[in-house]
């Protein structure tokens, strides 16, 4: 039997330092090696306890979470899962932490005594297991330092898209999406609909951050938003999103149906609507993430004649969702994150050339 995953819990709340270990140790494959009340204790605890994974609260006195994270990334290179507050400030700090090198995050409920702590515990356990198995170089996949931020063109009227691109992504997604979308031009001829596994309250901030660094227009989707050339719509947390052909144009429709594959939003829901509505005009891409959400529905897109693309293992933080699609034979192309933008552009520009010829 392999040894348990050793976890160091860092949180300034005495209640959370008690609750989180209780939740984690219900899983026999995890051992809480110790706790720390703030960042000033972390380096000594790491040397003493040799943890495999660290959970880190960002809001702490003295040496705060962000400073602590930078120190861990600089000197220890241990995967860190951020335990984030449900707030605008908490969301902003979380995305900053992911850009610094945090593996992933969970959002703790405002009331630590609430029944949602059980759900948070399950999510944290699955992410700790994924973090412990991650190859270190993949932890830091993101936007390379010095990447130029493209000029955002002033587009008064975006036209109808020539293709609809649906993207499913989870762990490692914020950095990977920022890299991908920043490589696409403002006059990109296709529309993008994106499901990123992320809790409610974080996706609006995420979409704003992407919009600031991309030539594309990026926004959190609302039901009825049009799918337009050069626009990327991010599904809100805790909603499902479908793409639809309607008399007034291509659009997204949101719903509150039950979870699919344990997720809301679910990539499966988005991909199945893409297959049904757009057939050979659809492009489905599965990128870094845990689990199998989207894999079976990618098969539906391929059967309908659409293009199916999976991110390759070497450039994924977690090669779960893409692996499931590749192993089932549903991915027609497997490409690195570096090549993803060129692959999408080649598909869409070829389509524009065919349309012009016709």
- Of these residues, 52, 263, 293, 315, which one is catalytic? 293
Q: Is the pTM of this model over 0.85?
A: yes
Question: What are the structural domains of the chain?
Answer: 5-139 (3.40.50.2300), 164-357 (3.40.50.180)
Distance of CA 224 to the CA centre of its chain: 23
Strand partners, 327: none
Q: At 273, which helix (H) or strand (E)?
A: helix 267-278
Closest CA to 39 of 11, 20, 17: 11
Q: What does each of the 358 residues of the chain score in pLDDT, given as a tens digit? A: 578 999 999 998 898 899 999 999 999 999 999 999 888 889 899 999 999 999 999 887 677 889 999 999 999 889 999 998 776 777 888 999 999 999 999 988 766 555 677 778 899 999 999 999 886 544 444 444 444 455 666 665 679 999 999 999 999 999 999 999 999 999 999 999 999 999 988 999 999 999 999 999 999 999 999 999 999 999 999 999 999 999 989 999 999 999 999 999 999 999 999 999 999 999 999 999 999 999 999 999 999 999 999 999 999 999 999 999 999 999 999 999 999 999 999 999 866 556 555 5
Active site residue 197: yes
170 is catalytic: yes
Q: How far apart are CA 122 and CA 290, in angstroms?
A: 14
11, 84, 170, 250: the active-site residue: 170
**Helix (H) / strand (E) containing 164:** strand 164-169
Question: What span, in angstroms and rounded, lies between the C-alpha atoms of 338 and 313?
Answer: 12
Q: Which of 38, 84, 197, 266 is catalytic?
A: 197
CB 72 within 8 A of CB 80: yes
- CA nearest neighbour of 137 among 312, 334, 317, 310: 317
Contact 65, 38 (CB under 8 A): no
């Amino acid at each position: 039997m392999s040894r348990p995953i050793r976890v160091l819990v860092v949180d300034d709340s005495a209640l959370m330092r008690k609750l989180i270990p209780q939740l984690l140790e219900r899983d026999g494959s995890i051992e809480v090696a110790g706790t720390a009340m703030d960042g000033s204790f972390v380096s000594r605890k790491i040397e003493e306890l040799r943890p495999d994974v660290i959970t880190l609260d960002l809001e702490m006195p003295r040496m705060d979470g962000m400073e602590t994270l930078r120190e861990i990334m600089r000197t220890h290179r241990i995967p860190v899962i951020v335990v984030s507050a449900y707030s605008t400030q908490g969301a902003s700090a979380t995305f900053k932490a992911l850009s610094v090198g945090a593996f992933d995050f969970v959002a703790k409920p405002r009331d630590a005594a609430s029944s949602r702590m059980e759900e948070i515990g399950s999510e944290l356990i699955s992410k700790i297991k994924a973090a412990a198995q991650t190859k270190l170089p993949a932890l830091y996949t993101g936007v390379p330092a010095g990447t130029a931020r493209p000029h955002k063109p002033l587009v008064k009227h975006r036209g109808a898209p020539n293709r609809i691109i649906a993207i499913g992504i989870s762990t490692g997604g914020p950095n990977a999406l920022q890299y991908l979308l920043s490589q696409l031009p403002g006059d990109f001829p296709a529309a993008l609909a994106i499901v990123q596994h992320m809790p409610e309250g974080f996706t609006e901030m995420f979409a704003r951050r992407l919009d600031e660094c991309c030539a594309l227009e990026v926004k959190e989707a609302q039901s009825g938003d049009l799918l337009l050339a050069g626009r990327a719509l991010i599904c809100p947390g805790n909603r499902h999103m479908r793409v639809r052909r309607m008399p007034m144009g291509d659009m997204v429709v949101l719903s509150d149906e039950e979870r699919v594959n344990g997720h809301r939003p679910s990539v499966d829901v988005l991909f199945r609507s893409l297959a049904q509505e757009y057939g050979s005009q659809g492009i489905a891409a599965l990128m870094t993430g845990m689990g199998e959400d989207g894999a079976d529905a990618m098969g539906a897109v391929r059967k309908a004649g659409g293009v199916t693309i999976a991110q390759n293992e070497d450039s994924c933080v977690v090669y779960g969702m893409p692996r499931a699609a590749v192993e089932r034979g549903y991915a027609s192309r497997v490409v690195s994150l570096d090549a993803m933008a060129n692959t999408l552009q080649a598909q869409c520009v070829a389509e524009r050339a065919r349309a012009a010829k016709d």
